[in-house]
Structure 1
Amino acid sequence: MTKQLYIGVMSGTSLDGIDTALVEIDQGQVRLLASHQSPMPETLKQQVLAICLGQATDLVTIGQIDHQLGVLYAQAVIALLDKSGYSSEQITAIGNHGQTVYHQPQGPMPFSTQLGDANIIAAMTGIDTIADFRRKDIALGGQGAPLVPAFHHCLFHSHADSVVVLNIGGIANISVLRPNHAVVGYDTGPGNMLMDAWCHKHCHQPFDKDALFAQQGQVDQTLLTKFLSEPYLQTQAPKSTGRELFNLPWLEALLADDCLSPADVQRTLCEFSAQSIANEVRQYQQGEQPELLVCGGGAHNPLLMQRLQALLPGWQVMSTDDKGVDSDNMEAMAFAWLAYRRMHNLPSNLPEVTGASKAVSLGVMYFADK
């Protein structure tokens, strides 16, 4: 099979921007050639947040957001091509995750909704586009998430020691790669989402850069105990979650009877993310040198990284950058890889991870009609 070029597009639960990654795939091996991040307009971000938090909306608003996101994704791809020097004719396909506005994989009518019209992306870029990656897995009884563990296994599996790949976006999720074991992967709980929301409310900043706000406070054990008693954390995998559960109203309901400084709350939220992650990771220790490889925005939070290492003394905690894979572009690269799998009709979900009844090739093709 000859080398092919793919573009992955990702905007996650943190809503901090649109990540695009141009990769070369040769015999299943993936190499990042270029990347670009485009901002998410604040007005659009607030509209998406309102839907995620269950505020009343209508079909006109949904349709307009779907269109706006489609245009933004296409513009982000065009900007990446301009930056990289490649042309649309050289790209086999785009893999576009879309913006999740609601994810409800449980109950009598499970569903997951991502917006961002892939028809617009294909038309504006002239590149075949693959989207709607989650719903086929849900139709087969799965969670529709996480989908990245299969990509992590392709990159990082070890024959001797446990490797856990931890993506800390708005939500934190892990991919557990152990010798002679099936891959395990699920959402552990909050990553940056609650910290970002609290920082935005009190500091008017989108995130706590270098954890400077959190480091002004102290962990409140009573509040931390409340956080850790969230029933989702006790649920067995397969499981996935999102902003529908972990949001500012969830936090403020637990703060109702507390008189803590904003900095103490921020510090406690950081500890909550660290402990809820570490509680899951430590059960998968195997071998003499297990590794925790961190990617996503949380890899840049020095306090969170310090706490993970302190809570997991038997593990080597590092960024995926230390393994030669850009920690900021991991998920965009993953959706480029998922597009490659779809183009070749190769399975791209892991039933042992998502809970689906079988392995299938995920994603729906939107042709550019060149």
Structure 2
Amino acid sequence: MHPNEKTAISTRVIGLISGTSVDGIDAALVEISGQELDLKIELLAGETYPYPAELRERILALCAGAAISMAELALIDDAIAFSFAQAAQNIQNGHQAANLIGSHGQTVYHRPPKKDAGTGGYGEKNLRVSDSPLGYSLQLGRGALIAYLTGITTVSNFRVADIAIGGHGAPLVPRVDAYLLSHPEEGRCIQNIGGIGNVAYIPPRYGDWLSKIRGWDTGPGNSLLDLAVQHLSAGAKTYDENGNWAASGTPCYPLVEQWLRQEYFHLPPPKSTGRELFGVTYLEQCLKDAQAYQLNSADILATLTELTAASIAHSYQTFLPEMPQRVMLCGGGSRNLYLKQRLQLLLASIPVLTTDEVGLSADFKEAIAFAVLAYWRHLGIPGNLPTATGAPGEVLLGEIHQC
């Protein structure tokens, strides 16, 4: 047992998250038992609750770097917390009340640590703020307010403890994936495609398998696609359903090759990114680059979709110790059939499935993961995986807010 670890008993936990796509709050009501290797979950209910349109626009503007006052930031923080609390209350309808909430909140800013973070060199008392190698990540939607509004103990701010010791604070899901989706004989990549893509490489479950797990952000997932759809449709659409629009176009491979030369794709893991890189400014440059090829709207979407697929495949081929025997997709991008087809083509004989096909909801896996992380925090079990976040050791993740 880990120090301070409590005895695990079956409990109902709500996991809440809104990712970098800002398309709504994913809520999962989960029955959890066991601890790590014996961890078991049952999804009792899963639902996505859209943000009010005005709040979503304000969040997206903030993520894009809009300058706002502290008063405006406080109002957005409150509004997100109220929306998360409402989602937690709604997901319990028709079910026994939950005992715990794990709320990731809404990421509005993420800064990876500098290259040498985590070496212990940031502890000097005379360190200037400008010298800090630490990362920074801000999730809005105060856990204390969610706890008060729901009457349920809430765990939030999952990333800050890992960042404080020099990690990226991301990705945090690989440890959960390891215990829910590992296989005794098969190496697997669990690829989440939200606004940003991230992977957990899980080797076969034998020997010192946990230390061989790797995880990192692969690059853009849906972020550029959604922004492009909104731009190309003059706001009439917010996403490309099933990838149908992109599928009607033709990818421009010289552009994809040009974009893949971007520095991030060649940085070795651990690494993390967000809309700060793959956001509005990046899309504007992509659209400018595309002008030389006289692409129509469908071709632009097909090319951006190819970038997401190619960046994932390139990431595997460049940084994995060995290619997986199976890839399992989750997140909103797992429903983009055209993107899935392109990734399957690039990975050749490696089967590309979704986590639905092994019994774990692809739509709500991230929300389930934060329910598990809250459960582990309550039990005193570390939630980060140093080989994924780059932190020098394991830490308890999340701040507990009693109702």
1:119 and 2:149 equivalent?
no
Q: 3-state SS of the aligned residue for 1:98?
A: strand
Which residue number in structure 1 is paired with residue 126 of structure 2?
none
Q: 3-state SS of the aligned residue for 2:270?
A: coil
Are the aligned partners of 1:112 and 1:135 in contact in 2 as well (CA < 8 Å)? yes
Which residue number in structure 2 is paired with residue 190 of structure 1?
220
The 5 Å alignment of 1:182-261 reads: 182-203=212-233, 204-257=236-289, 258=291, 259-261=294-296
Q: Give, in whole Å, the separation in 2 of the partners of 1:105 and 1:279.
A: 21
Q: 3-state SS of the aligned residue for 1:152?
A: helix
1:342 and 2:377 equivalent?
yes
1:7 and 2:39 equivalent?
no
Which residue number in structure 2 is paired with residue 157 of structure 1?
182
Q: Give, in whole Å, the separation in 2 of the partners of 1:121 and 1:152.
A: 26
Residue 286 of structure 1, CA deviation = 5.2
Q: Give, in whole Å, the separation in 2 of the partners of 1:253 and 1:105.
A: 22
Would the alpha carbon gap of residues 346 and 299 (structure 1) be closer, same or farther in structure 2, given more than 3 Å must change?
A: same
Q: 2:157 aligns with which of 111, 132, 141?
A: 132
**Deviations 1:260-314 (Å, cap 9, x if unpaired)?**
2121110000000011001123454858x81101101111111111111111123
TM-score (norm. length: structure 2): 0.87
**Deviations 1:6-58 (Å, cap 9, x if unpaired)?**
11001000011101101111112112111121111221111111111112111
Q: 1:143 aligns with which of 168, 175, 178?
A: 168
Are the aligned partners of 2:135 and 2:167 in contact in 1 as well (CA < 8 Å)? no
Q: Give, in whole Å, the separation in 2 of the partners of 1:93 and 1:280.
A: 36
Q: 3-state SS of the aligned residue for 1:336?
A: helix
Q: Give, in whole Å, the separation in 2 of the partners of 1:252 and 1:221.
A: 18
**Deviations 1:317-348 (Å, cap 9, x if unpaired)?**
10110001110000000000000000011010
Which amino acid counterpart does residue 283 of structure 2 have in structure 1?
L
Q: 3-state SS of the aligned residue for 2:45?
A: strand
Which residue number in structure 1 is paired with residue 124 of structure 2?
none
Which residue number in structure 1 is paired with residue 101 of structure 2?
94
Q: Which segments of 5 or more consecutive residues in structure 2 lack a partner in the other structure?
A: 1-7, 115-131
Which residue number in structure 1 is paired with residue 70 of structure 2?
59
Q: Give, in whole Å, the separation in 2 of the partners of 1:100 and 1:351.
A: 21
1:176 and 2:187 equivalent?
no
Residue 256 of structure 1, CA deviation = 2.1
Q: Give, in whole Å, the separation in 1 of the partners of 2:51 and 2:400.
A: 25
Q: 3-state SS of the aligned residue for 2:86?
A: helix
Are the aligned partners of 1:198 and 1:248 in contact in 2 as well (CA < 8 Å)? no
Q: Give, in whole Å, the separation in 1 of the partners of 2:23 and 2:297.
A: 22
Which amino acid counterpart does residue 86 of structure 1 have in structure 2?
Q
Residue 93 of structure 1, CA deviation = 1.0
Q: Give, in whole Å, the separation in 2 of the partners of 1:45 and 1:226.
A: 32
Q: Give, in whole Å, the separation in 1 of the partners of 2:91 and 2:300.
A: 39
Q: Give, in whole Å, the separation in 1 of the partners of 2:104 and 2:81.
A: 11
The 5 Å alignment of 1:33-44 reads: 33-44=44-55
Residue 161 of structure 1, CA deviation = 2.1
| Identity value in percent | 40
The 5 Å alignment of 1:279-358 reads: 279-282=314-317, 284=320, 290-358=325-393
1:32 and 2:64 equivalent?
no
TM-score (norm. length: structure 1): 0.95
Q: Give, in whole Å, the separation in 2 of the partners of 1:309 and 1:300.
A: 14
Are the aligned partners of 2:197 and 2:219 in contact in 1 as well (CA < 8 Å)? yes
Which residue number in structure 2 is paired with residue 80 of structure 1?
91
Would the alpha carbon gap of residues 236 and 286 (structure 1) be closer, same or farther in structure 2, given more than 3 Å must change?
A: closer
Q: Give, in whole Å, the separation in 1 of the partners of 2:254 and 2:283.
A: 14
Q: 3-state SS of the aligned residue for 1:20?
A: strand
**Deviations 1:98-141 (Å, cap 9, x if unpaired)?**
10000002243521101002122111111000000001100010
Q: Which segments of 5 or more consecutive residues in structure 1 lack a partner in the other structure?
A: none
**Deviations 1:213-265 (Å, cap 9, x if unpaired)?**
11221111232122211110000100000000001221212332523212111
Q: Give, in whole Å, the separation in 1 of the partners of 2:253 and 2:91.
A: 46
Which residue number in structure 2 is paired with residue 272 of structure 1?
307
Moved more, 339-348 or 29-38: 29-38
Moved more, 299-308 or 217-226: 217-226
Which residue number in structure 1 is paired with residue 30 of structure 2?
23
Q: 3-state SS of the aligned residue for 1:172?
A: strand
Q: Give, in whole Å, the separation in 2 of the partners of 1:254 and 1:275.
A: 15
Which amino acid counterpart does residue 188 of structure 1 have in structure 2?
T
Are the aligned partners of 1:4 and 1:24 in contact in 2 as well (CA < 8 Å)? yes
**Deviations 1:153-191 (Å, cap 9, x if unpaired)?**
011112222100000001110000013541100000001
Which amino acid counterpart does residue 345 of structure 1 have in structure 2?
G
